[in-house]
């Protein structure tokens, strides 16, 4: 389902490959940005941010010891071993629900999420003021990506 693609953009940072864009034939960049902003605000109001803290335990690796008899004595050596500390991290337990609220809002505004490649820097591809039909969009220039 195309709605699930909406969530991928939320995870995207610097991208060089395909990206997810809002699509509604005939819409302008400003209309898409306004819809994304309005839906982000609505989702934040409906499902506020929350911070939870969790931790992972540390562990001790004893390594291994090998012993070799040498005459009347034994020579032993230990390899490896050590302590790996745990970590503490924070996360937002409401994020998945907020993402679903955002996706519902976008659909209610008549948009869908589609995946298209980002145009190469040396591309001469033109992106019209209003979105053409989906099959006419070959790639999307970085400056025409909506900031979700």
Give the residue extent of every domain in the chain.
3-50+92-144
pLDDT of 123 reads: 75
- The H-assigned helical ranges of the chain are 3-11, 29-46, 95-108
pLDDT of 16 reads: 57
Q: Which two tokens stand for residue 97?
A: 């629900």
- Per-residue pLDDT of 11-36, as tens digits, reads 444 445 788 999 999 999 999 999 99
Separation of alpha carbons 48 and 84, rounded Å: 35
Q: Which two tokens stand for residue 96?
A: 């998945």
pLDDT of 126 reads: 72
- The H-assigned helical ranges of 22-94 are 29-46
The sign of the dihedral angle between the CA atoms of 34, 39, 45, 51 is negative
Tokens 């995870």: give the residue: 11
Residue segments in the chain with a per-residue pLDDT below the cut of 70:
1-16, 125, 148
pLDDT of 12 reads: 41
Distances (CA, A) of 44 to 15, 52, 94, 101: 25, 17, 10, 9
Separation of alpha carbons 79 and 67, rounded Å: 11
């Amino acid at each position: 389902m195309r709605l699930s693609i909406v969530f991928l953009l939320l995870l995207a940072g610097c991208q060089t490959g395909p990206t997810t864009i809002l699509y509604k034939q005939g819409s302008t960049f400003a209309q898409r940005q306004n819809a994304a902003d309005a839906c982000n605000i609505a989702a934040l109001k409906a499902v506020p941010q929350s911070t939870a803290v969790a931790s992972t335990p540390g562990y001790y690796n004893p390594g291994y010891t090998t012993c070799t008899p040498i005459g009347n004595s034994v020579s032993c050596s230990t390899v490896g071993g050590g302590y790996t500390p745990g970590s503490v991290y924070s996360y937002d337990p409401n994020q998945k629900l907020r993402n679903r609220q955002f996706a519902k809002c976008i659909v209610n505004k008549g948009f869908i999420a589609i995946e298209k490649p980002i145009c190469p820097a040396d591309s001469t591809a033109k992106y019209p003021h209003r979105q053409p039909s989906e099959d006419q969009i070959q790639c999307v220039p970085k400056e025409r990506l909506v900031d979700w």
